[in-house]
Amino acid sequence: MEELEKLALLLEEGDVQSVASLTQQLVDSGMSAQTILNNGLIVGMGVVGEKMRTGEMYLPEVLQSATAMHASLKILKPLLAQGGIQPLGKIVMGTVKGDVHDIGKNLVGILLQGAGFEILDLGVNVGPAKFVDAINQHNPSLLAISAMLTTTMLNMKTTIEAIGSAGLRSKVKIIVGGAPVSQKFADEIGADGYAQNAVRAVDKVKEMLTIA
């Protein structure tokens, strides 16, 4: 298990080349992709998330760790697919129409992917119809909607209403977040969950999908 601990540490340090190299070595040695993912990458990203929460790591460092994670996943994903390994859940995410802020959304996506979820990011300035199409096409477990402006917050409500009108509301859980968003607002617009920051979002999503 020493090599997996080393992988988690290298990931935490954001050492892209070493993470990719060690991942390949572990694969070549016969270790399963699922073991590498669960006991290396997910452990490492868990530490990154916790250090971000406590202020020991900042956004540039977290993004560097994310780059290292993606380098490892590039090697592991084909093997996970061959083994029929399923992610914890599929999540569609996007910033609402009229809003082009994406740093917070991207950070949430990084931490959720690091926790073992499959992420489908629709990007920014996403209209209600595009969210509806994504639900129909991808059948996600959860939809994550963000807004960073008070002027675009109401587009969260419009999006949730559009999902309801399309007859899809009972098929997907919805979590909302962003600087101006609150639990009170989430309740008012009919969202299933709210997270005040990226680290809390991971815990909340697991709670919403009843994942220990």
Q: Residue 147 in 3-state DSSP?
A: coil
Could you tell me if 94 and 78 lie in one domain? no
User: Domain containing 168: what range?
Assistant: 90-208
Give the predicted TM-score (pTM) of the model: 0.83
Could you tell me if 67 and 123 lie in one domain? no
Could you tell me if 42 and 114 lie in one domain? no
| CATH number, domain with residue 76 | 1.10.1240.10
Could you tell me if 17 and 34 lie in one domain? yes
| Closest-CA residue to 190 (of 168, 175, 207) | 175
How many structural domains compose the chain? 2
| CATH number, domain with residue 181 | 3.40.50.280
Q: What are the pLDDT digits (tens) for 27-71?
A: 999 999 989 998 999 899 989 988 988 999 998 999 899 999 999
| Closest-CA residue to 174 (of 128, 137, 107, 110) | 128
Q: What are the pLDDT digits (tens) for 128-143?
A: 999 999 999 999 999 9
Could you tell me if 26 and 114 lie in one domain? no
**Spans in the chain with pLDDT lower than 50:** none
Could you tell me if 113 and 188 lie in one domain? yes
